[in-house]
Amino acid sequence: MKKYLYILITLLVLTAALTAAVSADELYTFELSEATHISDLAENWYMDLSIPQVKGLADKTAENSLNAYFMSWKDYVIKEYNDDVEFMEEEYSTEDLPHFGYEYNWEKVVDSDDYFVFKTYLFYAAGSSMTVNEYWTLDKHSGSLIELLDVADKVRLEEVRSMIKTAMDEENKTQEVFWTEEDIFDAAFSYIEEYHHWYINEKGNLVITFDKYEVAPGAKGESRFEITGDKAVLLKDNKYSFDLYVGDTAEITEKNWYLNLKLPVISGLADIDQENQMNAHFVETFNGIRKEFETAVATAEESTSEDDGPHFGYEYFYEILADTPDYFAFKTVAFFAAGSSMTRNEFWTLDKNTGKLVTWEDVVTPEMVQGIHDQILAEMTDANGSGTGLYYTDDESFGFAFANVPAYHHWYLNENGDLVICFDKYEIAVGAQGAPEFIIKR
C-alpha cells in the first residue's frame, strides 16, 4: 500500500502559484465533502469507502488533480477487496472463512485563521488492523496546498529528525516504546513528505506523524510529534539570509604577469546540495583559471625573454548586485588582460523567501522567450541606427549568444525585481561596447 501511495503521489501536479489575485485581507475558504460512497457488506467481510472532494483552491488544476488522487483510491481499494474475497473463497471452506474489512474515509483536523487541514485514511482489519494516514494542509492566504519544503527546509528537517529521535529515546528510558534503530526510524522519517505524514496544527506548529507499526508496536497506534520552540517557525515568516565571502586566494605578481584570484563562497541556502554545487562550481572555475595562468606563464618563459615577454594578468572575484527584502543577487567575474581585456561573468540570484537559487525556469516560461529575444534585438538595432551601438544583430552571433543565456548564467533579478539579461564583452558587440545588459519589460 505504501508503494502504491508513493507511485500515485508522483502523478500529482500541485502548484502553489495563484491563478486569481486576492487582497491581503481576503482569505480563501475551503469546502470538504463526500464525492461518492461505496459499500459492500457480506457475512465475513465488508468494504466501506467514503471518497472526499475539496473545493476552494486558487489553482483549479491543482484542485482537480488532488480530487482525482482521492478518487484513484476507490479503484485501488475495490480491486484489493475483490482480490482478497476471491482468494479467501478459493483457499478456505465456507465454515472457515476469515473475517476482514476495508475502509477509506476522511476527517477535518484543523480549521484555523490561517490553515485548513484534513486527513484521508485507509483502514484494513483482519484480526489485527492497519491504518494508512495522509494529511493535507491548505493555506487560506494563498489558496494553495502546502508542501513540506514550504514549511521546513532540509537543514531544518534534519534538526526536526534529531528532535524526534531525542524525544523517542527519552520515552524509551522509562518504557521501551519506539523502534529507534537507524534502519527503521530513518527509513520512516525519510518518507514523511511522500506519505504526507505531516501537517500544521491550530497553533501554527509543524506536526510529524507516523502510521501504526512504522516506528513502534501496534499498541502505540499512530505517533505524532509537535515541533515547538524556534524550530516551529515557518519559513514564510522567517526570511533567509546569505553569507557571501572570500575563501581561498591566489596572488602572484611578477614583472610581466600577475594572478589575483579570490574564491567566492556562499552559505545560508536551504538546500545544502544546491549550496555545495554552487561552491563546487566556484572552486572548479578558480582552479581552472589558475591552471590557465600557469600554462600561460610556462609558455611565455619557454618562448620569450623577460625583456620582450608578453604582459598579462588573470583575476577572479565577485560583486554583490542586489540585496533586497526578497532577493540576493551577485556576479562572479573572471577577468583576463593582455593588451586588450576579456571578462567572463556569471550571475546568481537567491530567493530570501525560499532559501533557494532562483532558476531560469522559475522566472521565464517558454512562452516568454521569443518576446525577450525580440525586445533585446530591437534595442540593439535602434542603438546601431542612432550611432550609439556597435552590436552584432545577425542571427548567427546574437542568436547563439541569446540561446546560451541560461547555461552561461547570464541573467539576474535586480533591486526592483526586474529580469536583467547580460552578455560578456565581445559576445554580441565589439569590445568598445563592454558587457551589455538589458532590463526586460514585463
pLDDT of res. 119: 98
Among 250, 282, 249, smallest CA distance to 266 is for: 282
d(CA 235, CA 326): 13
* DSSP characters over 336-394: EEESEEEEEEEEEEEETTTTEEPPHHHH--HHHHHHHHHHHHHHHHHHHHHTS--B--S
Map out the domains of the chain with their CATH numbers.
2-237 (3.30.565.40), 243-439 (3.30.565.40)
d(CA 60, CA 63): 5
d(CA 114, CA 110): 10
* DSSP characters over 122-173: EEEEESEEEEEEEEEEEETTTTEEPPHHHH--HHHHHHHHHHHHHHHHHHHH
pLDDT string in tens for the chain (442-residue length): 444 443 333 333 333 333 333 334 478 999 999 999 999 999 999 999 999 999 999 899 999 999 999 999 999 999 999 999 999 999 999 999 999 999 999 999 999 999 999 999 999 999 889 999 999 999 998 899 998 887 776 667 888 898 899 999 999 999 889 999 988 999 999 999 999 999 999 988 899 999 999 999 988 999 999 988 655 554 444 578 899 999 999 999 998 999 999 999 999 888 888 999 999 999 999 999 999 999 999 988 888 776 677 889 999 999 999 999 889 999 999 999 987 889 999 999 999 888 899 999 989 999 999 999 999 999 999 999 999 999 999 888 899 999 999 999 999 999 999 999 999 999 999 988 999 999 998 6
Among 231, 234, 229, smallest CA distance to 200 is for: 234
